[in-house]
Amino acid sequence: MGAPDAATQKALDHCTSRLNHSLEELKKLVRIPGVSFDGFDPSQVRDSASAAAEHIHSSGMKNVEVIQFGDVHPYVFAEWMEHPDLPTVLLYAHHDVQPPGDEKGWNSKPFDPVERGGRLFGRGTADDKVGILAHTAAISAYLNTAGRLPVNVKLLIEGEEEIGSSHLAEFVRRHREKLRADCMILTDCSNIDTGIPSITTSLRGLVSVDVELRGLPQPVHSGFWGGVVPDPAIALAQLLGKLTDEEGNILIPGILDDVRPLSVAEIKEFSTLDLEKIVRAGTQLPDHLPLRGTSEELAKRMWREPSLSVLAFESGSRKMVANIIQDGAWARVSMRIVPDMKPQKTQDILSDFLRSHCPRGFEITITPEAAADWWTVQDLNDPIFDIAARSLEKGYGQKTRFVGCGASIPFVQPLSQELGGIPAVLLGVEDPYSNPHSDNESLHLDDFRKILISQVHMLGELARYRRG
């Protein structure tokens, strides 16, 4: 791949010598419980933004500011704009985190980062405080050696990603000139496996509805009336059972009509991936439970086909179970959508199917809950992707894989769209065992080192970038 130039080599040496310092900086950020969800202390999110801003300032970035409008959780912005003739790269991460959940499920305190078994455990270690360090460690390495960056850099750290980035498009419109750049590097995705660098080229969208069946005006005694009075919980379960077959294939007519076929390049790339072991290990799926689809189909089913899930089902109370037939039952039905499915059309088809199959005599209420779009790279031949792939290979010592992501990341589409469709490179720092959003979230420490080294290479390589 060629030896790095003198400036990059000095930055690499500096970054390597400061790995322990970078890890301690990450731990400082993790200790702040900046949960952006309603019901949690919003001052903690402001503290998280302030800590991120202080850390960014210490890396040498200029014009560091915490930006807030209305009641929106604060953003952090910084820039280093010294080369009018060189490319400008926008670096993105987010500082807000998920709720800790039930702390009984954690092996250590969620906001007390602990090293164990080659991993760093704590809420936000992988999602996405490490994304901030991936950027700032590389920036600091150049500024502390060469005294300058190889390219112009703008850094945006969001504070509401975990709750859907609902104000991001408005934020970008307000600050479009401030954020204008030639390309974006976003560190909030997952590598396909530990030690295997990955670039995410597609994200599924998300559509969901709440469905409720009502029967009796009040619950009744199951001993007196069981067998003659219809049970709304059973009725709703039967209705939900019509959505898919036993293999998880969606049975709703018309809902798959717009799905974009895989490209030749995707078929070739996906065929080289051995995902069954990764899926089972990452989910801890027991051997006696079969996967949905053959090994050859897993990548397509996870990344480029829609999936349907029942996220919650409620009828009565588990803590206060009584011998009664409930008066109603409720569920949230969710679909992950793919190119070229239309969110609103998909939501309408799903809702119409549920209504048309409502069990006889029940009153059904459908409430739309979410309709977020999918995203995919528009031009994989843009030179930014070759630069990113080469840089990751230098940092990891492994071939970079181009993968999809079955999840939805709301910030990508508005960022790219509002900034004129500039290319977005989505990098992974998580791995299948990171458990983001769940108990015992963690970061693989050797991959932490590798992403920092990769980012140093990437900033150096980006000096030669010209938009394709």
Residues 156 and 223 in one domain: no
Residues 194 and 314 in one domain: no
Residues 455 and 391 in one domain: yes
> What is the pLDDT, as a whole number, of residue 237?
98
Give domain status of residue 279, yes or no.
Answer: no
Torsion angles phi and psi, residue 92, rounded to 5: -125, 145
3-class DSSP assignment, residue 419:
coil
Residue 5 has, within 13 A of its CA and on its CB side, a CA count of 10
Query: CATH number of the domain that 426 lies in?
Result: 3.40.630.10
Find out whether 305 and 457 touch, Cβ atoms under 8 Å.
Answer: no
Find out whether 390 and 459 touch, Cβ atoms under 8 Å.
Answer: no
> What is the pLDDT, as a whole number, of residue 332?
97
Give domain status of residue 281, yes or no.
Answer: no
Task: Quickly tell me which residue has 């693989």 as its tokens.
Answer: 444
Find out whether 315 and 185 touch, Cβ atoms under 8 Å.
Answer: no
Q: What tens digit of pLDDT does each residue of 107-146 get?
A: 999 999 999 999 999 999 999 999 999 999 999 999 999 9
Query: What is the number of domains present in the chain?
Result: 2
DSSP state, residue 261? P
Q: How far apart are the C-alpha atoms of 167 and 72, rounded to whole Å?
A: 7
DSSP state, residue 291? P
Residues 213 and 146 in one domain: no
Query: Going by DSSP bridges, is the β-strand pair 88-94/152-158 parallel, antiparallel, or unpaired?
Result: parallel
Residues 230 and 170 in one domain: no
Residues 23 and 147 in one domain: yes
SS (H, E, C) 295-326: HHHHHHHHHHCCEEEEEEEECCCCCCCCCEEC
Strand ranges in 165-253 using DSSP code E only, listed in sequence order: 183-190, 198-203, 205-214, 220-221
Give, in order, the Cα–Cα distances in Å from 58 to each of 24, 68, 178, 298. Answer: 14, 21, 21, 44
Give domain status of residue 86, yes or no.
Answer: yes
> What is the pLDDT, as a whole number, of residue 413?
82
Give, in order, the Cα–Cα distances in Å from 354 to each of 144, 305, 331, 349, 460. Answer: 61, 21, 12, 9, 54
Q: What tens digit of pLDDT does each residue of 407-450 get?
A: 888 888 888 888 999 999 999 889 999 999 999 999 999 999 99
Q: How far apart are the C-alpha atoms of 122 and 441, rounded to whole Å?
A: 6
**Of the candidates 372, 401, 430, which is a domain's last residue?**
372
Residues 97 and 43 in one domain: yes
Residues 103 and 226 in one domain: no
> What is the pLDDT, as a whole number, of residue 14?
98
Task: Quickly tell me which residue has 């953003």 as its tokens.
Answer: 75
**Of the candidates 324, 341, 372, which is a domain's last residue?**
372
Element (H, E) at 2: none
Give domain status of residue 407, yes or no.
Answer: yes
Please calculate the CA angle 260-265-271 and round it to the nearest 5 degrees.
95
Report how far apart the first and last C-alpha atoms of the chain are (Å, whole number): 22
Orientation of helix 19-30 relative to helix 445-461, angle to 10°: 110
- The CA R_g of the chain, rounded to the nearest whole Å, is 24
Residues 199 and 215 in one domain: no
Residues 352 and 396 in one domain: no
Range of the domain at 213: 205-259+305-372
Residues 108 and 46 in one domain: yes
Give domain status of residue 288, yes or no.
Answer: no
Q: Cis before residue 340, ω within 30 degrees of 0? A: yes
Residues 95 and 184 in one domain: yes
Query: CATH number of the domain that 342 lies in?
Result: 3.30.70.360
Q: How far apart are the C-alpha atoms of 183 and 369, rounded to whole Å?
A: 33
Let me know how many helices (H) and strands (E) the chain has, helices first: 15, 18
3-class DSSP assignment, residue 376:
strand
Q: What are the residue ranges in the chain where pLDDT is below 70?
A: 1, 468
Give domain status of residue 273, yes or no.
Answer: no
Residue 148 has, within 13 A of its CA and on its CB side, a CA count of 9
Give domain status of residue 266, yes or no.
Answer: no
DSSP state, residue 5? P
- For residue 406, is it left (φ>0), alpha (ψ between -120 and 50) or beta? alpha
Q: How far apart are the C-alpha atoms of 451 and 130, rounded to whole Å?
A: 9
Cα 6 off chain centre by: 36
> What is the pLDDT, as a whole number, of residue 468?
63
